[in-house]
Each structure stands twice: as structure tokens, then as C-alpha cells.
Structure 1
């Protein structure tokens, strides 16, 4: 019975325009999007180079990227806490317990996910595509953009998974951000806080928002993939 009441209260909070609730949502979306904007270009370029270039240490780098996927986000938060604390080498930036600190943590969390997905997508592409482009005198930059356009849905899947990863993580955001109301309190840290207090309405409301975002983004990707396949069949 308590769950049903909390669910009803959650919808009331969402549709009543509760300022505190929507501030939490805004902080989460803002930090996650900024982190993704920073991480995506770096990761796409890195994933493409790892997939197409041959150089000493390449396999070690791929191994490190894949190993980083399994790193707990709380460990990344612990390392950043040490770096950004007053006694740390980056303490002068004053990013601990700030949105900037959360963004840095989210960039580090997103990078392995994005690189791994882009790497897999480029490796799965038809190698004749790059060979044909080179034969026609295309520059390396043009070849890269051609290949990435061919595997664009794999790249889009990378971005979506990276966004979902940073939006839903709690360990790093809690340690580096400090869960400060109105400043660094994200949806996941707020859910953890409200649940620990035994107040489920706000936690459920934020959980509904998280699920809605995930459903909408993935539905958009599926629709785009479907439209492209239909247009190819029609042509």
C-alpha cells in the first residue's frame, strides 16, 4: 500500500512543477550532456584510430580500454577525490564538490564506453569502404568521415550508452559532487538520499524520469535505424 501511495505522490511531484525536483533533474542533465560533449569527439577519434591504425602498444591500449569498462565508478570517484582535494595535485582548481568535478568524473566514466563501442563499430565495417576511398584519392580525414558515416548507428549507440552510463551512475557523483542541494545533487544521488531517509516519493519521481529518458532516446535510435533501412530497400 505504501508503494502505491508513494507512486501517486511521485506523479504529483512531477506534474506540480516542484522546484527542488526539477533543479535536481536539470543538474543531472546539464552535467551529463557537458561530459558527453567533451568525451564524444575524443572517444570517436580514439576508437577509430585503434580500429584502423597499426602501432606498437595498440593491443595493450585496447586491453586497457576494455578493462576500464569494468572499473567501479566509486573507484574513479575515490581517485578524483584524491586529485581534487586541497592536498591533491589538482586542488587549486577548487573542483571538488562542484559541478565541474562531476563533469570530470563523468568524462572519465564515459570515455571507455564510447571508445569500446566505436572501436567495435569500425572494426565491423566493410574494409573495402576505406580501400575504395583511398583508391579514389581521398585524404585520411575524408576516409575517416566516410567510414564513421557508414557506421553512424554504431557511433550513435555508443553515445547513447555513454549518456546512460553517466546519467545513471551514483558512486563518482556522490564522492566528487558531495550531494549538495541545488548545486551537485543529481538524480541518482537524490534517489539514494531519499531512500535512506525512508521517503520514496521523490526517489520514485526521479526514477520515472530516468526510465523515461532511456526509453525516449532508445526509441529515437530505433526509429532512425528503421527509416534508413526502409529507404535503402526502396532505393
Structure 2
């Protein structure tokens, strides 16, 4: 217990002193997770909306596939992405392996099904007669779709927040595609694993505290978004 208390005190001191090494790792984690979430939202929100409003043969199978991908292990994603980004892979000429770009790609693959599935759920809770009424009143398909998205915006926001939380907490993809390179691709989760293996717990505890604070902030935003969304519907 004394060991934990001492490590916790030193970790708090490191956070409050704005330790450069600590905040460089935090910044990289936030950077890659933010852009991964941004790209996943750009791709996933329209895809989820399309699944919700469109009628086509095989729609149920597509939704089942998306929901199945929610449980896709990060090491599997890392393995397949590595195969494409390695020198012998089809995208090896880009030279992105063991760079932040590779981590972003892996995280996009990881959280894209989450954005699609949760957007689908949010839009499905909106009465689609709202869209049909807008079309009847002369709105174009684009503006009718925007009207539905506006009604579902809190649910979609919840989807994006949940996806960000999933991305920033993962470790397998960051380790396999980033390589845990000091000052370049070392994220909070990979740094915590490294420090644990070295038997040096102060930095790991400090990063763990920051990660918990980030997760807490994301969950507070998620609860607020879900609460407002629930009031709307």
C-alpha cells in the first residue's frame, strides 16, 4: 500500500509539474485518436444514415456484418493493416508503417463499425415519416436528410464520443502499427505497458490517471448527449 501511495504521489507531481515527456505522450494519443475519430465520423455517419433510411436487398446481412465487426479484436486489425502497410504490402510504398498515420488508419478501422452502428440506431429512432413529409413539402432529398440528421444529432454525437473513447483506450493497434517509438509513436497505453514491463510505475500511474480523466470526460459528454437525445425523442 505504501508503494502504491508513493507512486501515486509522484505521478500527481509529474502531472502538475507539466512533465515534458508525459505531455508529449498525452498529446500524441489525443492527436491520433482525434483524427481517427474525425475520419471515422466522416465515413461512418453517412453510412449509418444510409443503412437507416435505405431499403435494399441484403440490408439485414449488412447490418449483421457491421454489428459483428464491433467485436473485432484489435490484434486482428493490426495484423491485417500491417500486411498492407509493410514494405512487401500493397501500400508499403507509402512508408507509413511505424508512424502516427499507421495508428490512425488502424483506429479508423477499429471504430468505424461503432460509428456506423450507433448512427444507425440514432437515426432509426427518428420517425422516418419526418423525412417523407419534408420530401412531400418540396424539400430535396439532401435537405430532407439534413432534417433527419438534425433531429438525431445528439445520438450521433454520442456515437462519435463513444468511438473516441474506444480509440484512445486501445493498445494492440498502436503497438503493432506504431512500434511504440519514443517521442514518435508512443501513446498512453503503449507507454503504460512498457513502463510496467520495466518495473517503473510512476509514469505508468500518471498516464493511467490522465487516461481515466479523459475517459471520465468522454463519458460525461456521452451521458449529456444521450440525456438530451432521450429528451428529444
Structure 2 gap ranges (5+):
none
CA drift of 1:9 comes to: 1.0
Match of 2:120 in 1: 119
Match of 1:194 in 2: 195
Match of 1:106 in 2: 107
SS at match of 2:122: helix
1:176-228 Cα shifts (integer Å, max 9, x gaps): 00000000000011111111111111111111111111222332444466678
Instruction: Normalising by structure 1, report the TM-score.
Output: 0.93
1:144-185 Cα shifts (integer Å, max 9, x gaps): 111111111110110011000110000011000000000000
RMSD of the alignment, in Å? Answer: 1.7
Whether 1:6 aligns to 2:2 is no
Alpha-carbon distance between aligned partners in 2 of 1:225 and 1:53, rounded to the nearest angstrom? 25
Match of 1:218 in 2: 219
Whether 1:170 aligns to 2:187 is no
Structure 1 gap ranges (5+):
none
SS at match of 1:95: coil
Alpha-carbon distance between aligned partners in 1 of 2:166 and 2:148, rounded to the nearest angstrom? 26
CA drift of 1:34 comes to: 1.0
Alpha-carbon distance between aligned partners in 2 of 1:183 and 1:106, rounded to the nearest angstrom? 17
CA spacing shift, 1:62–1:186, aligned 2, 3 Å = same
Whether 1:151 aligns to 2:152 is yes
1:40-75 Cα shifts (integer Å, max 9, x gaps): 021000000011101233222211111110110111
Whether 1:208 aligns to 2:209 is yes
CA spacing shift, 1:225–1:84, aligned 2, 3 Å = closer
Alpha-carbon distance between aligned partners in 2 of 1:227 and 1:97, rounded to the nearest angstrom? 40
Match of 2:39 in 1: 38
Match of 1:63 in 2: 64
Alpha-carbon distance between aligned partners in 2 of 1:228 and 1:169, rounded to the nearest angstrom? 27
Matched residue count: 231
SS at match of 2:36: helix
Match of 1:180 in 2: 181
Give the stretch that moved more between structures: 142-151 or 171-180.
142-151
SS at match of 1:89: coil
